[in-house]
Amino acid sequence: MRNILRRPPFVVFSMTVVGCIIMMATNGCSRGSDYQSSTVLGTVTIDGTPVVKGFITFNPTSPGQGPSVGGKITEGKYQCDRVPVGKMRVTFQAQAAVSKTITDIATGQKHEVPQNILPSQYASGIESDIQPGRITLDFPLVSKSQTTAGKSR
């Protein structure tokens, strides 16, 4: 545990992100579902500008509803298959197009680190209700103190 605390924050953050992606990928890829699911696609924007790259995750709010399912956001667009139907907590990772260069003070090495551009009020996600079938669900996020739930088209 002591060694983890000595690592630069971006290394710990990167390890956490990779672990979450692996967990979501293994949970979302099981075959032969015993839950009703939907294909969800749409856009994710911040103040009207498409999120260049990121990740979206649909997390069921009830036990037994199905697995968490996620997908990449590319140029503001995403598509997730086999999303369980019902109430979800939708979480986002949003990165700037240009990485930030930081210098490790212990080694002097420079590292490129993705810049998180997700407004803080979305850190714990937002609730959305997923309907059966193929649905379009847009997330027009705003950087102000107000939050916006997913809007269907």
| Distance separating alpha carbons of residues 37 and 97, to the nearest angstrom | 32
**pTM metric for this prediction:** 0.69
CB 139, CB 44: distance < 8 Å: yes
| % pLDDT > 90, the chain | 59
**pLDDT tens across 94-127, in order?**
998 888 889 999 999 998 888 898 999 999 999 9
- Distance from C-alpha of 139 to C-alpha of 44, rounded to nearest angstrom: 5
Instruction: Give dist(CA 46, CA 147) in Å, integer.
Output: 11
The DSSP letter of residue 75 is T
- Taking the C-alpha atoms of residue 70 and residue 131, their distance in angstroms, rounded to an integer, is 17
Q: What is the pLDDT of residues 12-59, one digit of tens each?
A: 455 565 555 555 555 544 445 589 999 999 999 999 999 999 999 999
What Cα–Cα distance (Å) separates residue 126 from each residue in 56, 101, 113, 123? 11, 31, 26, 9
H-run or E-run covering 59: strand 53-60
Which residues have CB under 8 Å from 23's CB, separation 6+? Answer: none
Q: Which domains does the chain have, with CATH numbers?
A: 2-29+36-144 (2.60.40.1120)
